[in-house]
Structure 1
Amino acid sequence: MRILVSGASVAGPVLAHWLTRYGFSVTVVERAPAPRRTGGHAVDLFRPAMDISEKMGVLPYIEERATDTRRLTVHQEGSSRRPVRADLSKIFGAASERHVEIMRDELSEIYYDATRDDVEYVFGDSITAISPAGEVRFEHAPPRRFDLVVGADGLHSNVRRLVFGAESGFSAFIGAYLGVLSLPNASDVDGELLMHVGVGRTVGMYGAQHLGEARALFLFRSERELDYHHRDVPRQKDLLRGAFAGMHAEVDRWLDELDRTPAFYFDSITQLRMDTWSRGRVTLVGDAGYCPGAAVGGSTSLAVLGAYVLAGELARADGDHERAFPAYERAMAEHVRGSRAVALSAAKTLIPTSRLGVRGLAQGVRLISALPAGPSRALLRLTTKSGRLYDSVRVEDYAPTPGAAPARPST
């Protein structure tokens, strides 16, 4: 049975790994000309994604590439108060008993390296049409027929557009934007997250010794959707400058790197809300089908889990998509709803709407860090939805497969 997967970031390679293990023939097509190996921002893998990565044999390589961010310093905009310093590992530990933070592109590289010998990867191409019978046309390659097609191509999914229609019919803007840039690690930040928090805007800068550079992540609120094209990078940089102008001299220095940064990302924080992720021979996985909100909803862990569940349900149904796709959607529905709720709550906390919210964020960080592990975890579970979500997910065992041999380390 031949399955085409569009997208080689996170969900695509994870899905390809498990489909191959279950005996399916998999092709992954990716618009980028080569695997992405630079840029991106830090993402969190919580318990279910950690468990799945361990089953794949790649967890040691993920842990080797962890950012190992352990300390947090929070500055409150416009306040004479001393910055709050906290043990970040305790805050993450309060949210989940199993967690690692890693750069998104390094994670993608690890998953790709684990599958490249067993999966056909086609870079520098994309799908232009999909027929109900599975005939697929590409921008460059000749047409081919596949039994199933899976869109794992992110929030702005090409597969979703071709099969379900325009993104505007499914997206829900949650009132915030995200920007990420790479910059020199002039402050020699290693294992520390430096944050500046103000009303309607938050920025953090972090680095890790193995990266050789730092990343700055910007989050800001907007009552309306901003006018820009998703490929107009100069316009996006101007919007970011305007949103953070005058926040702090340190933030101004980070913004100065916008004209020199080797890697830049900007997008709205948007949720996808679809009644179904499947139509005929086509289904969606990860952000392509149920993005809860970049940077605030645990979308990377959700994508890994969704890819694993989709492959497992296809194996359980012997490739019968009419049984597998509904089962996949049923299995993921509760997790998707929970992640959406987490995203809305996290966005409100991380990007405060008032001075009281700014102080509350700083004091909450200080309190959780000061408490012993048990009470801090209990406090977070009482006050947020995230603490209840991640550790409640249990990874099901699907069709038995040979033991996962350790994948080659990424290079």
Structure 2
Amino acid sequence: MSNEPLRGSSVLISGASVAGPALAFWLHRYGASVTVVEMAPALRSGGQIVDLRGVGREVVRGMGLLEQMRAARTPTDGLRLVDERNRSRAFVPVEGFRGDGPIAEIEIGRGALSEIIYDAAADDVEYLFGDRIARLDDSGEGVVVHFEQREPRRFDVVIGADGLHSATRGKLFGPEQPFLRHLGSYVAWWTVDNDLQLRYVAHLYGEPGRSLVLRSTERNTRALAAFTFNERPLNYDYRDTELTKNIVRSRIAGMGWEASRVAAQIEETPDFYFDSFSQVVLGSWSKGRVGLVGDAAYCASPLSGHGATISLVGAYVLAGELARHAGDVSAGLASYERVLRPWLASVQELGRDEGAKMMTPESALGVAARTRLVHLFEHLPARLRPFMVRPQIRVSNGFVLPDYSALGPIPA
């Protein structure tokens, strides 16, 4: 029988993407009463494809959800670099990288990943959709949360799992600009017709300062477009969808390959997303009884390839340290940061250095060099491929999960 160290504790989590439901899963296991508030009217479907890497897979295994996620993954055999006539110039396969190569073994839609984690504890966690936190009053003994739509409630702990533009972080530390490290480029995702009839593959076309990826989704019936371009920080409202669509139209104009075709579908797409490649850099991930997890605390940007992984690992460690220090919220939040911060620094470094160079080279020479590197991957024996991406594999597996098994029931 578990001692359930958090029994009697109440926790509010803001955000129901990946980190929020994962944290709710683990906190419930340790006996806490958990509520998740999400501004969207329902769990969000769709979204970009994310990777499960290294230690992130181990967290999912501990949740008993690994096989479900394997079954729900978006199958991809590899990444093909093409020219403007869609002729293959180089190909990097999934196999041969121990699951953690340029294309991860498990790539899954963010919405599907969120839904699997949500379903695993939905009957035990209270979800408040269509609402958000308006104000936080932390007395030191508890946090009174004022919602926009509901009556105020008191919680022992409040955790922001609300992404890169975290409103919870804003309430703790003020406007986001001082905490965002712009990496010099932007990205847009949207679903398009699979005009190239891609089958379980991603195609990448590059020009100096901009790249376009198309990959098959929805059992090859559709494709996901990802357009990136290099630019200094722009002054825009990320919530203004029409404005951000116009930004993408202007930057993709004149690009070769399939660019004009996919740009024409921006207006009608149901799932357009645009934002900067940025990292969150904070001196502290908590204040009083309010903490942050996932992108809200330490976004490494999609360039790191570890967004979902750090959300899952962060949720696991945060819940475990709160349980380990049951009754002392400050100690639990401080320990969570102390345990996790060194590894998170290495993930962010990977996103700044390796990811930015590979995604959108600045020059024609850089585009050609990327093609040559991928061509080398293609012709290396499988046993040698991991050596070509050692920094990435090292980071993916560079954190030893603390053992919290004595604090809660073992999963079935």
TM range (shorter): over 0.9
Q: Deviations over 1:337-392 (max 9, x none)?
A: 111111112112211012221111111111112111221111222xxx32321122
Q: Distance in 2 between matches of 1:23 and 1:40?
A: 32
Counterpart for residue 73 of structure 2: 66
Q: Distance in 2 between matches of 1:167 and 1:372?
A: 46
- 1:347-362 equivalences under 5 Å are 347-362=356-371
Match of 1:29 among 37, 46, 52: 37
Match of 1:292 among 300, 304, 328: 300
Counterpart for residue 155 of structure 2: 146
3-state SS, counterpart of residue 269 of structure 2: coil
Q: Give the CA deviation at 1:109.
A: 0.9
Q: Which moved more, 1:337-346 or 1:119-128?
A: 337-346
Counterpart for residue 120 of structure 2: 114
Counterpart for residue 54 of structure 2: 47
Matched, 1:173 2:158: no
- 1:10-409 equivalences under 5 Å are 10-37=18-45, 39-76=46-83, 83-90=89-96, 93=99, 95=101, 99-133=105-139, 134-210=143-219, 212-222=221-231, 224-345=232-353, 346-381=355-390, 385-400=391-406, 401-405=408-412
Contact 1:8 1:28 in 2 (8 A): yes
Q: Deviations over 1:207-252 (max 9, x none)?
A: 1344742110111100x21232112212211111221222214121
3-state SS, counterpart of residue 264 of structure 2: helix
Q: Distance in 2 between matches of 1:203 and 1:80?
A: 12
Q: Distance in 2 between matches of 1:200 and 1:66?
A: 30
- Counterpart residue type for residue 130 of structure 2: G
Q: Distance in 1 between matches of 2:102 and 2:337?
A: 25
Contact 1:90 1:369 in 2 (8 A): no
Q: Distance in 2 between matches of 1:91 and 1:198?
A: 27
- Counterpart residue type for residue 363 of structure 1: R
Contact 1:95 1:387 in 2 (8 A): yes
Q: Distance in 1 between matches of 2:327 and 2:266?
A: 48
Q: Give the CA deviation at 1:91.
A: 5.5
CA 386–81 in structure 1, closer or farther in 2 if over 3 Å, else same? same
3-state SS, counterpart of residue 257 of structure 1: coil
| Count of aligned pairs between the two proteins | 399
Q: Distance in 2 between matches of 1:44 and 1:242?
A: 29
3-state SS, counterpart of residue 302 of structure 2: coil
3-state SS, counterpart of residue 9 of structure 1: coil
TM-score (norm 1): 0.93
Q: Distance in 2 between matches of 1:359 and 1:142?
A: 59
RMSD: 2.0
Q: Distance in 1 between matches of 2:298 and 2:100?
A: 26
3-state SS, counterpart of residue 138 of structure 2: coil
Q: Give the CA deviation at 1:142.
A: 0.2
CA 283–196 in structure 1, closer or farther in 2 if over 3 Å, else same? same
Matched, 1:2 2:10: yes
Identity percentage of aligned residues: 39
Unaligned residue ranges in structure 2 (runs of 5+): 1-8
Q: Which moved more, 1:365-374 or 1:174-183?
A: 365-374
CA 335–216 in structure 1, closer or farther in 2 if over 3 Å, else same? same
Q: Distance in 2 between matches of 1:304 and 1:256?
A: 36
Q: Distance in 2 between matches of 1:209 and 1:170?
A: 36
- Counterpart residue type for residue 25 of structure 1: S
Q: Distance in 2 between matches of 1:272 and 1:34?
A: 27
Q: Deviations over 1:274-305 (max 9, x none)?
A: 10001000000000011111343512101110
3-state SS, counterpart of residue 397 of structure 2: helix
Contact 1:73 1:195 in 2 (8 A): yes
- Counterpart residue type for residue 149 of structure 1: V
Counterpart for residue 408 of structure 1: none
